[in-house]
Amino acid sequence: MVCDSGGWDMPSISAARPMCPTSATTRKHSTQRSRLPARSCFISSSLCQMPLQSLGHMGFPFPTVNESLQEPQDGTLTMLDPLARRTHRRTLVLGVVAALSLSSCGALQDDGARSAADDLARGLHSEDVSGLAFSNGTGEEVQTELERVLRTTGGIEPDVTVTGTEVEGDTARAELSWRWDLPATDEDWTYTTDVDLIRADGGWRSTWQPSVVEPGLNGNEGLRIRTVQPQRGEILGADDVPLAMSQPVHRVGLDLRKVPAAQRSDAATALAKAVDIDAGTYRKAVSQASDDAWVEAVTLREEDFRALDAAQMKKIPGMQATEDTRVLGRSKGFAAETIGSVVEATAEDLENSDGALTRGAWIGRGGLQQEHEASLRGAPGVVVDRVGTNPDGSLEPGQVHQLVAHAPRAGEDLHTTLDATLQEAAQRALEDVDSPSSVVLVRPSDGAVLAVANGAGSKGYPTATLGQYAPGSTFKIATSLAMLRKGDTPDTTVDCPHTYAAEGTSVANFSGYPQQFEGRVPLRQAIAHSCNTAFAAQHGRVSQQNLAEAAESLGVGVDMTPGIPVFSGSIPSEEPAGEHVAAMFGQGRTLVSPFGMARFVASVQAGKLVQPTLLAGDEGAGSESAGDDEADDAAAAPAPRVPLTAGESSGLHTLMREVVASGHLEDLGSLSPDTAVGKTGTAEYGNEDPPRTHSWVIAGHEDLAAAVFVEDGNLGSITGTPIMLDVLRAAQGS
């Protein structure tokens, strides 16, 4: 007889043994059952000592000898067994009451079985049963077996509860409900198992079997829970050319089992030199590793591995190379800072992922790989196997039976606007530059970013996108825009003295400035030859607010979302008088990035502010080719306080064309067609005497806008022009 939330569940009279009323959910008894109302469930041990006639006074309206048993009604006892229709009602009533009394007494006497089962469930949940009593071994022995069974479950703690017990004399059986919160899926793995218990030495002891953990386990078998990592999406460039994808690699390291302790330091040094990594760092890693460890030194692309001296490598004790695959750029260093890398998730990554990452996951670090991690990564799967295990924890080959499988979801490919040919050309143009440097190419008509390159001197820093530098004389284009808004034209005459002083600031033209273009000159000539004093002298007409608004019209300080983090620039709306004078020709506190300056010149070409994008199908907001969706995006995109007009753009184009026609960028006149526009720039920085200088060139040719930057260079025309010409010529042939 069992009491649950619905009432007493009473077996028919022929039931051979009672059920203990100890669980809300129990194993179903094989005999026919009848029901008692729920309010009868308070029966306690006092029933075992109470005369039968007293039950009626406790609120249990048992039928008398002369009453017939009726169909169920609230507050009545109903027997549906056919025996209830017989005439021997007194015998039936006595039998019912006796069964009720005996089952209650039996439940109290066997509470120890349930308690022992609960203890076992708690131990299984915490994976520590060493302190429990077992009928077939010590707690320590069973603990060793449990650890073997669960060794490859990844440290996941199952929820284990007792859902029912059956007691018969000195033996009992408990049903355990198991729930595993599997990684990589919202679905729990649930099932039930049975455990036998024996009464001995005044208490109940569980009987250990592997099947207590999972019904099918026996002998040397255990459970293995493993995540299956998804296939990561590829990053594709223009025309869906693969830019980052899974490629074969060789993992090179030392197998310390094969290296005598006395030789490990020398072996680590030799291997580090062979693969060109820091020897001290690798020796330290080897010295801290266990005697049976494999210590990786480096992962090499196929071509780099083949370039190693094979004979030399074979002489290194314990050297081992393992074939594997990794997600890599199409070539070594290809758009590395823009694309980013894919690395194995650290313990910190796992902890901060809120369960999204599992052990062994690979994640994007930096660039597009990190910014679009969720779609590129996909979702892992999970597999639960019943496996054969050895005492040392190793798995028995071939002894695998799959129990649960959730397939991984592959990552999505990311389609970008990067042009592989132009990206490689931009990187080649920077090969001989020792200083941090960059090249950025943007298509003005739709904002597509075609190349974002950083030189080796940047040492992995994304100079192109996150660098913050004074723009130097390239900023005279923004100053010119502010002057055009005051009514000037490219032919307006301006003063270009050799030196100029105002507001405590002294300004001079660069050494070697041609004297014939000093004095009173047209604005177009002041731009073409980059007269500092001519623009500084406009500080009284053009306020800092005017200057800031003009810069914003070309994108400086106007946020953009091209697909990776970028610095759009900054310019104060108010400045002290001396700082304002310096700001007029690109010094002071105005800061820009090479990426922002490519947008700057692209906007001049497009006649409106361009919203650059690295994402294919996400055409730059405001571009002429943008459809309705893109037009909506344009309306939502950050906008300057004073938008650029077509007339203003035309005036700026005329000024920048003069720089190529008769000024510092005459070499760009060799491009076909001869339509290039541009501006050079040199920005002083630091406290050295003479100061160090940034070199800038911004240019546009046909439907291409470009920015070249070298952190430590000569005049922009000297350092930047050859780089710009190489890039634009490569674009002509692409």
Say if residues 477 and 603 touch (Cβ distance below 8 Å): no
Say if residues 247 and 328 touch (Cβ distance below 8 Å): yes
Q: Let me know whether 52 and 144 are in one domain.
A: no
Q: For residue 570, what are the β-bridge partners?
A: 591
Q: What is the CATH number of the domain that holds 273?
A: 3.90.1310.10
pLDDT digits over 276-294, tens only?
999 999 999 999 999 999 9
Q: Let me know whether 657 and 510 are in one domain.
A: yes
Given this model, what pLDDT does residue 20 score?
A: 37
pLDDT confidence bin for 580, thresholds 50/70/90: very high
Q: What is the CATH number of the domain that holds 665?
A: 3.40.710.10
- What mean pLDDT is reported for the chain? 86
Of 304 and 45, the structure prediction assigns the larger pLDDT to 304
Query: What average pLDDT does the segment 422-442 reach?
Result: 97
Given this model, what pLDDT does residue 617 score?
A: 86
Helix, coil or strand: residue 298: strand
SS3 annotation, 23-42: CCCCCCCCCCEEECCHHHHH
What is the chain's alpha carbon radius of gyration, rounded to the nearest angstrom? 41
% of the chain beyond a pLDDT of 90: 75
Q: Let me know whether 613 and 677 are in one domain.
A: yes
Domain boundary, last residue among 327, 351, 378: 327
Q: Let me know whether 91 and 121 are in one domain.
A: no
Min mean pLDDT across 95-99, 435-439, 717-721 is at 95-99
Please state the pTM of the whole predicted model. Answer: 0.77
Say if residues 467 and 579 touch (Cβ distance below 8 Å): no
Which is nearest to 698 in space by CA: 564, 594, 607? 594
CA 305 – CA 297 distance, rounded (Å): 13
| H or E segment to which residue 601 belongs | helix 594-606
CA 560 – CA 638 distance, rounded (Å): 7
Q: Is the peptide bond prior to 690 cis by the omega test (within 30 degrees of 0)?
A: yes
Q: Is the pLDDT of residue 38 over 70?
A: no
Q: Let me know whether 148 and 177 are in one domain.
A: yes
Q: Is the pLDDT of residue 57 over 60?
A: no
Query: What average pLDDT does the segment 722-729 reach?
Result: 97
Number of domains the chain is built from: 4
pLDDT confidence bin for 391, thresholds 50/70/90: confident
Asked, for residue 185, whether it belongs to a domain, the answer is yes
Backbone phi and psi for residue 582, each to the nearest 5 degrees, phi listed first? -65, -35
Given this model, what pLDDT does residue 310 score?
A: 93
Residue with tokens 């249990």: 60
Min mean pLDDT across 179-183, 360-364, 388-392, 682-686 is at 388-392
CA 125 – CA 685 distance, rounded (Å): 65
For residue 621 the two structure tokens come to 């907001």
Asked, for residue 530, whether it belongs to a domain, the answer is yes
Asked, for residue 274, whether it belongs to a domain, the answer is yes
Given this model, what pLDDT does residue 54 score?
A: 39
Query: What average pLDDT does the segment 41-48 reach?
Result: 35
pLDDT confidence bin for 394, thresholds 50/70/90: confident
Residue 25, number of CB atoms within 10 A of its CB: 13
Given this model, what pLDDT does residue 87 score?
A: 37
| Residues contacting 632, CB < 8 A, separation 6+ | none
Asked, for residue 407, whether it belongs to a domain, the answer is no
Q: Let me know whether 504 and 610 are in one domain.
A: yes
pLDDT confidence bin for 396, thresholds 50/70/90: confident
Backbone phi and psi for residue 212, each to the nearest 5 degrees, phi listed first? -65, -30
CA 323 – CA 249 distance, rounded (Å): 6
Q: Is the peptide bond prior to 673 cis by the omega test (within 30 degrees of 0)?
A: yes
Q: What is the DSSP string of 484-504?
A: HTTT--TT-EEEE-SEEEETT
Asked, for residue 378, whether it belongs to a domain, the answer is no
SS3 annotation, 283-296: HHHHHCCCCCCEEE
pLDDT digits over 713-725, tens only?
888 788 999 999 9
For residue 507 the two structure tokens come to 């300004």
Backbone phi and psi for residue 711, each to the nearest 5 degrees, phi listed first? -65, -45
Q: Let me know whether 553 and 652 are in one domain.
A: yes
Domain boundary, last residue among 312, 327, 342: 327
Say if residues 184 and 381 touch (Cβ distance below 8 Å): yes
Residue 680 CB burial class (10 angstroms; 0-12, 13-18, ≥19): buried
Given this model, what pLDDT does residue 110 score?
A: 58
Given this model, what pLDDT does residue 628 score?
A: 53
Asked, for residue 609, whether it belongs to a domain, the answer is yes
Q: Let me know whether 560 and 680 are in one domain.
A: yes
Of 229 and 5, the structure prediction assigns the larger pLDDT to 229
Given this model, what pLDDT does residue 184 score?
A: 82
Query: What average pLDDT does the segment 267-284 reach?
Result: 97
Helix, coil or strand: residue 458: helix
Asked, for residue 336, whether it belongs to a domain, the answer is no
Q: Is the pLDDT of residue 599 over 90?
A: yes
Q: Let me know whether 196 and 156 are in one domain.
A: yes
Q: What range does the domain containing 266 cover? A: 247-327
Domain boundary, last residue among 109, 130, 164: 109
Q: Let me know whether 537 and 583 are in one domain.
A: yes
| H or E segment to which residue 589 belongs | none
Q: For residue 382, what are the β-bridge partners?
A: 227, 406
Query: What average pLDDT does the segment 356-371 reach?
Result: 93
CA angle 505, 511, 514 (to 5 degrees): 110
Q: What is the CATH number of the domain that holds 173?
A: 3.10.450.100
Asked, for residue 425, whether it belongs to a domain, the answer is no
Q: Let me know whether 11 and 74 are in one domain.
A: yes
Q: Let me know whether 534 and 595 are in one domain.
A: yes
